[in-house]
């Protein structure tokens, strides 16, 4: 009578042991993936964009060119926010100047292509990663739709396509396909005023510093993105404090470090949810593969 029970128990213990080993290996692999995904570029030679808000007229050509380049719907319609149909938009802020009338400052927004991206750090399956060339890129084939990246991003960039049950996250990838063809990002190409400039991060920082030095009345002495959240590949110059334009005041520490500190406080919950999501992903993948055969 007890033999089958022992047998079952042995099998159960073997299964649990196997599951624990798998969980341990998965955890190790996840840690390695996170480390690889969030590693910043080796040098400041990575590509970047400098946005000079003092030169932006709010014409929206960048945002429309972005839609066309990414083959997004309604390419003629000016976007008013980030969503699965718009990876960039231009926001207008009224700021009080010397005159009685408030002046407009236009702010082009898109992914900041952080040097140590929190989105990639939060992604348990390596669907987001920072490339050595600069762009933070997304792999829809790996994404399980958990939306951790959305919660982690300090700039509110990744958006989720609720209309599509499979998916998925949408965001600017710094026109990675165009970069591979030695072309500038579409938004930079379309800007008629020179408000957007494409180049190596190090060179753009040098230029930004020179502009502030030679025009101290035109610019606030702050290059947004030089240090915020560990640095970003999209840098901004402005005539008014960035706090007045909705830019978050972030510490110089990379956000993944902050996120990891929080994760460490809830390792079991975070790990369990991530593991279940990963397991579900593989089950779905197997089923999809089986249906195709």
Minimum separation from the CB atom of position 193 to ligand SF4 (A): 4
Contacting residues toward ligand SF4, per CB under 6 A: 56-62, 65-66, 69-70, 87-88, 90, 106, 108, 110-114, 117-119, 136, 153, 155, 157-158, 171-172, 174-175, 185-187, 190-191, 193, 195-196
Minimum separation from the CB atom of position 219 to ligand SF4 (A): 16
CB closer to ligand SF4, 120 vs 274: 120
CB closer to ligand SF4, 106 vs 271: 106
Minimum separation from the CB atom of position 267 to ligand SF4 (A): 22
Minimum separation from the CB atom of position 46 to ligand SF4 (A): 13
Angle of CA points 21, 22, 26, to nearest 5°: 120
CB closer to ligand SF4, 240 vs 279: 240
CB closer to ligand SF4, 172 vs 245: 172
CB closer to ligand SF4, 75 vs 270: 75
Rounded Cα distance between 176 and 187, Å, is 13
Minimum separation from the CB atom of position 111 to ligand SF4 (A): 4
Copy the structure tokens of residue 147.
Answer: 């939306």
CB closer to ligand SF4, 258 vs 274: 258
Q: How far is CA 150 from the centre of its chain?
A: 9
Minimum separation from the CB atom of position 195 to ligand SF4 (A): 4
């Amino acid at each position: 009578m007890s033999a089958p029970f022992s047998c079952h128990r042995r099998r159960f213990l073997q299964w649990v042991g196997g599951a624990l080993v798998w969980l341990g290996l998965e955890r190790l692999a996840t840690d390695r993936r996170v480390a690889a995904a969030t590693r910043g570029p080796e040098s400041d030679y990575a590509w970047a964009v400098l946005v000079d808000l003092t030169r932006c007229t709010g014409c929206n050509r960048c945002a429309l060119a972005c839609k066309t380049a990414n083959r997004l719907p309604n390419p003629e319609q000016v976007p008013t926010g980030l969503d699965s149909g718009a990876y960039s938009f231009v926001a207008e802020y009224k700021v009080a100047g010397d005159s009685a009338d408030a002046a407009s400052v236009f702010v082009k927004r898109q992914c900041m292509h952080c040097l140590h991206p929190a989105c990639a750090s939060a992604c348990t399956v390596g669907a987001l990663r920072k490339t050595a060339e600069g762009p933070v890129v997304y792999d829809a084939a790996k994404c399980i739709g958990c939306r951790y990246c959305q919660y982690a991003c300090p700039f509110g960039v990744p958006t989720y396509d609720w209309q599509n049950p499979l998916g998925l996250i949408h965001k600017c990838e710094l026109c990675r396909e165009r970069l591979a063809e030695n072309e500038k990002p579409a938004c930079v190409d379309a800007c008629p005023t020179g408000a957007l400039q494409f180049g190596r991060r190090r060179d753009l920082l040098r230029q930004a510093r020179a502009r502030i030095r030679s025009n101290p009345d035109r610019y606030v002495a702050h290059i947004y993105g030089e240090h915020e959240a560990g640095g970003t590949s999209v840098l901004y110059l402005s005539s008014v404090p960035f706090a007045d334009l909705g830019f978050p005041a972030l510490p110089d520490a990379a956000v993944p470090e902050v996120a990891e500190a929080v994760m460490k406080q809830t390792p079991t919950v975070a790990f369990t949810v991530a593991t279940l999501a990963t397991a579900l992903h593989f089950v779905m993948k197997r089923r999809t593969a089986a249906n195709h055969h």
